[in-house]
Amino acid sequence: MLSNQAAESGKRKSLHGHWSSRMAFVLAVTGSAVGLGNVWKFPYVAGQNGGGAFVIVYLLCVVLVGMPVMMSEILIGRRGRRNPVATMALLGEEEGSSKRWQWVGGMGVLAGIMILSFYSVIAGWTLAYIVKSATGVFTGADAATVGAQFDGFVGDWRAVAFCHTLFMGLTIFVVMRGVERGLEQAVRFMVPALLVLMLVLLGYSVTSGHFGEGLSFMFTPDFSKLSWDSVLAAMGQAFFTLSIGMGAIMAYGAYLPEETSIMGASGAVVTADTLIAILAGLVIFPLVFANGLDPADGPGLVFQTLPLALGQMPGGAFFSTLFFILLSFAAWTSALGLMEPAVAWVVERFSKTRAQAAIIIGGMIWLLGFGTVFSFNVLADVSFYKGTIFLNLDHLTNNIMLPLGGLFIAVFAGWIMCRNSTAEELGGAGFFYRIWRLLARFVVPVGILFVFLKAVGLLPDLS
């Protein structure tokens, strides 16, 4: 039976305002989810892990793990109406457990800060490529020229640092403006525009002469190329592209109106996010093969493949400029979601204004980002554990912190929160609620733990 405190939880109001509508929330979460993880990272991670087999595992992770974790994170956020740290502490006590659950929220906030530190650097590349595209650098350029442009840019730490600084400044500016005037206004145009341009680019990719080869690479499974590290990478990619396990969705959920269906909104976000990730692969891989590039070419893939392809199109300078503007927008909306949980925490914990909190957190992220700035130039030869500073941050957050954060979120929603609380947030204890509860309580925890322990070598080979 619900306590009086729990019964009144639905009457809580967010200290930061609310989304004006369900569509605003869906666009905001989609904007947070859809970004460089879809267009920049998904194609090259798939390329490094065998293509089609990886895509199958990725889609299974999205449906069986990503979707229930997203629903769990939203319902926790809306139930608590606070920043992730305070929400987990509040609901932990309210549901008869412990406020020590605040450490799960804290880990998510920290993961968001760490991810944005390297995400901002990569997003800064997109700003530089707007200028390169607009000035016709890629018009008629061959693969060697485009590759030299990329190597020359990332090898200049001052240029990379300037773009990183500019991108963080733009992010801080929007977060300072709040939920409706800042976050919501920023996503209303940018997310639909990115999808439209992806469809335009897909049309060009179909005519490249290598679309069948790209399609085969994307969807023909070769499980001999899969390892447990690949499965862990697929799960980490699912968490990264959906922005779950890092506090962003929980923070956005805190601003969600009571009448909005969490299940419907989650489904819309997951569908849009997955569609854009698949579209990105279908755009990029045919162009990779058409120009004799390596599909496992790492973080620079989208910064070499697309400029090369767009440079050959009629009006290529225009399309290339437009693409990198919209890619910057997609990165921008994702950065807002990564930064929001930490800003909300500082506002509530230390009674700072949003402007003060945004400057404090943004400044910390900016400084931390120099580790990634230097990873491609002056510290490129400094390698430990997984490689450069950038590669270690990427591995720690995406393959460890996000899956573990998702695990604890699912356990909290499925086992700690009472059935009445979760059913109230998810619109009743019907068929789809029972499916969510089954996945959150059993499939998600077992799946994450098994893959994680197997990948880090703590489980023996079964062969």
Quick check: helix, strand or coil at residue 418?
coil
Give helix 402-411 / helix 444-455 axis angle, nearest 10°. 150
Quick check: helix, strand or coil at residue 387?
strand
Contact by Cβ (8 Å): 365, 168: yes
Tell me: pLDDT of 460 over 70. Answer: no
Contact by Cβ (8 Å): 62, 242: yes
10 Å CB burial of residue 36 (0-12, 13-18, 19+) is buried
Least confident of 2-16, 106-120, 302-316, 362-376: 2-16
**384: which DSSP letter?**
B
What lies within 8 Å, CB to CB, of 35 at 6+ separation is 330, 331, 333, 334, 335
Confidence at residue 318, expressed as pLDDT on a 0 to 100 scale? 87
Contact by Cβ (8 Å): 339, 137: no
**Residue-range domain boundaries for the chain:** 14-455
Tell me: pLDDT of 216 over 50. Answer: yes
Model confidence band, residue 17 (pLDDT cutoffs 50, 70, 90): confident
Tell me: pLDDT of 375 over 90. Answer: yes
12 versus 10: the higher-pLDDT residue is 12
Tell me: pLDDT of 463 over 80. Answer: no
Confidence at residue 310, expressed as pLDDT on a 0 to 100 scale? 79
Q: Which amino acid is at 14?
A: S
Tell me: pLDDT of 128 over 90. Answer: yes
**299: which DSSP letter?**
G
Three-state SS sequence of 301-339: HHHHHHHHHHCCCCCHHHHHHHHHHHHHHHHHHHHHHHH
Mean pLDDT of 90-114: 95
Confidence at residue 139, expressed as pLDDT on a 0 to 100 scale? 92
Contact by Cβ (8 Å): 51, 220: yes
Mean pLDDT of 227-256: 86
CA dist 50 to 57, 209, 217, Å?
A: 11, 22, 8
CA dist 214 to 218, 278, 286, Å?
A: 6, 12, 4
Least confident of 233-237, 240-244, 451-455: 451-455
Question: How far is it, in rounded angstroms, from Cα 292 to Cα 305?
Answer: 10
- In 10 A of CB 423, how many CB atoms? 18
356 versus 252: the higher-pLDDT residue is 356
Tokens of 83: 């920043």
Tell me: pLDDT of 4 over 80. Answer: no
Confidence at residue 278, expressed as pLDDT on a 0 to 100 scale? 87
Mean pLDDT of 325-350: 90
- How does pLDDT run across 19-37, given as a tens digit for each residue? 877 888 888 888 887 777 7
Mean pLDDT of 387-406: 90
- The greatest distance separating any two alpha carbons of the chain, rounded to the nearest whole angstrom, comes to 69
- In 10 A of CB 176, how many CB atoms? 18
- How does pLDDT run across 43-76, given as a tens digit for each residue? 878 888 888 889 899 999 999 999 999 999 999 9
Q: What is the CA radius of gyration of the chain?
A: 21
Least confident of 173-182, 229-238, 273-282, 322-331: 173-182
Model confidence band, residue 2 (pLDDT cutoffs 50, 70, 90): very low
Confidence at residue 339, expressed as pLDDT on a 0 to 100 scale? 93
Tell me: pLDDT of 422 over 80. Answer: yes
H or E element at residue 431: helix 431-438
364 versus 257: the higher-pLDDT residue is 364
Model confidence band, residue 267 (pLDDT cutoffs 50, 70, 90): very high
Mean pLDDT of 122-128: 96
Confidence at residue 299, expressed as pLDDT on a 0 to 100 scale? 66
Average pLDDT of the chain is: 87
Q: Which amino acid is at 102?
A: Q
Q: Does domain 14-455 have CATH number 1.10.3470?
A: no
Mean pLDDT of 449-459: 74
Q: Give buried/exposed letters for 444-454 (b at 16+ CB in 10 A, else e).
A: bbebbeebbeb
Tell me: pLDDT of 100 over 80. Answer: yes
Tell me: pLDDT of 150 over 80. Answer: yes
Report the range out of 220-224, 271-275, 300-304, 379-383 with the highest average pLDDT: 379-383
| Closest among 261, 178, 246 to 33, alpha carbons compared | 246
CA dist 193 to 22, 249, 276, 291, 314, Å?
A: 19, 22, 12, 27, 21
Contact by Cβ (8 Å): 337, 252: yes
Contact by Cβ (8 Å): 253, 14: no
Confidence at residue 429, expressed as pLDDT on a 0 to 100 scale? 87
Among positive and negative, which fits the CA dihedral 34, 36, 39, 41?
A: negative
Chain position carrying tokens 């809580």 = 12
Question: How far is it, in rounded angstroms, from Cα 445 to Cα 441?
Answer: 7
| Closest among 97, 176, 460, 203 to 344, alpha carbons compared | 176
